[in-house]
Amino acid sequence: MHFAQYYLDCLSQASYLIGDKTTGRAVLVDPRRDIDDYLHDAEAAGLRIELVIETHVHADFLSGHLELARATGATIAFGEAAETGFPIRRLRDGERLSLGADDDQGVTLTVLATPGHTLESICLVLREHPDDDVPFGVLTGDTLFVGDVGRPDLLSAAGHTPQDMAARLHRSLHTKLLTLPDATRVFPAHGAGSACGRSLSSETSSTIGDQRRFNYALQPMPVDDFIRLVTAGQPATPGYFAHDAALNRDGHPLLEPGPPPALTLDEALAARDQQGAVLLDCRPLAAYTRAHLTGSLHTSLDTRFAEYAGSVVTPGTPIVLLTDPGTEQEARLRLARIGYDHVLGHLPDPAAVLDRSPALSSRSRRIRYEELGLREPQLAGAAGTDGARTGGTEPADPIPTDSLPTDFLPTDSPPTDSVPADIQLIDVRNPAEYEAGALPGARNLPLAGLSHRLAELDPSRPVVLYCRSGNRSVIAAALLEARGFADVCDVIGGYDAVGTGAQ
């Protein structure tokens, strides 16, 4: 058997190439849109990709089933309940897919219908030989993760309540997956950082036995308790999820390779003013906060670039990239992985452009926590588990002391329990992070849904934003400034910077 896992850190997404070396027949499960690695590895191993299997209609990335079908002639397959806008093979519960010369030999996959995350969700039990008592493993899609289970409330399950989907998920877990031997390896579709669950592990594989023992959602409990548990505290859904689910279900244009064209500053500004394009600054956080084109949005390539871009840029919006030299193709590809194909071009070397055009440049306004004049809160798990979705995955934030605004200066006043009444203090972390501990007087408006909730804020009053470490808050500040909020700053270092001695 040939078995390979492809893990994409920036989207916490896993895909799998499975083949029978004797016959050369292979399947690819949950592929991403850029397929060159799969094709290269299949050719090197002497494999023919005959079938592309999607464990469900994905919402968090644009899948590569259409690209692979064009490149290889492979058939696209989904679970029997899937409704798509293109021809598919429907896989029935219990169906066996043999990659051998006949059904009695060779690598075999058995389909398990496991509704819960979505109606059409399936898992695939993998055996090197059809009669193996203990399977090699099970590809669990978004039904079971390492340390978590799939969330039951995404838009791809529209028309059914989260409670109904959670009940289906419980049945799928207990009547299908947990009946497998403990030694069966678990290979999920996502890991830590994904918004498809609440507390995914950074491990990319496990076993049924370990998950039975250690996964919080698989512990013995009444069904009603399970439903309450898995429907509470889920991360905010990024705005692009519904867009991607629709494209993965109905069909989408094929990925076009190549770097975006270079634009002059005048061309970039004309695209903004005449075509409604957003200027998306992809440089590292420190470079952006030091100087950026006024009104530009920000998300850095050294973090969860595509997910954060999909949280602040409306699907279908034209985009002009502001990138460090040599990174424009990476930025375009990572946007394409979530279906953001409308990239008009890129502005080469933004730092040099800003040096030549200081009148078009702005500096981010940032403050230290101490300057808010608040007492240190009693921190209850301030940072969460590093890398888990409750805390996000944010790089350490350098403290550019020369960027502090002059109107937020330390005072000799004693600490208080709340910020002044005219300041809007906004926590842009996910709900579970906020509930574990927040700054006094802060409101929770998660970054993923912030662009749809700006009407809840008063643009005439100062806004102070914070997250866990200072990354998401800069992204949020850029969004507010682009939408006309004049008095915005964020807290350097975020909640992690708040009195570590109180933890």
The catalytic site residues sit at: 467
The H helix count followed by the E strand count for the chain is 14, 25
CB 102: neighbour CB atoms within 10 A? 9
**Nearest C-alpha neighbor of 56 from the set 181, 196, 256, 216:** 196
Concatenating the DSSP letter of every residue in 207-236 gives EHHHHHHH-GGGSS--HHHHHHHHHSSPPP
| Single-letter amino acid, residue 247 | L
Question: At 411, which amino acid appears?
Answer: T
Residue 190: other Cβ atoms inside 10 A:
29
- Token pair for 430: 């996910």
The residues, any chain, with a CB within 8 Å of residue 50's CB and separated by 6 or more, are 25, 26, 27, 72, 74, 75
User: What's the rounded Cα separation, in Å, for the pair 368 and 378?
Assistant: 18
Query: Around Cβ 474, how many Cβ atoms within 10 Å?
Result: 25
CA distance 24 to 51: 13
Which CA distances in Å does 333 have to 35, 114, 321, 454? 12, 32, 12, 29
Q: What does the radius of gyration of the chain's CA atoms come to, in whole angstroms?
A: 24
Residue type at 412 in one-letter notation: D
What DSSP string describes 26-89? Answer: EEEES-BS--HHHHHHHHHTT-EEEEEE-SS--SSS-B-HHHHHHHH-PEEEEETT---SS--E
3-state secondary structure 108-119: EEEEEECCCCCC
The two tokens of residue 41 are 């590895």
Half-sphere exposure of 20 (CA within 13 A, CB side): 22
Half-sphere exposure of 22 (CA within 13 A, CB side): 12
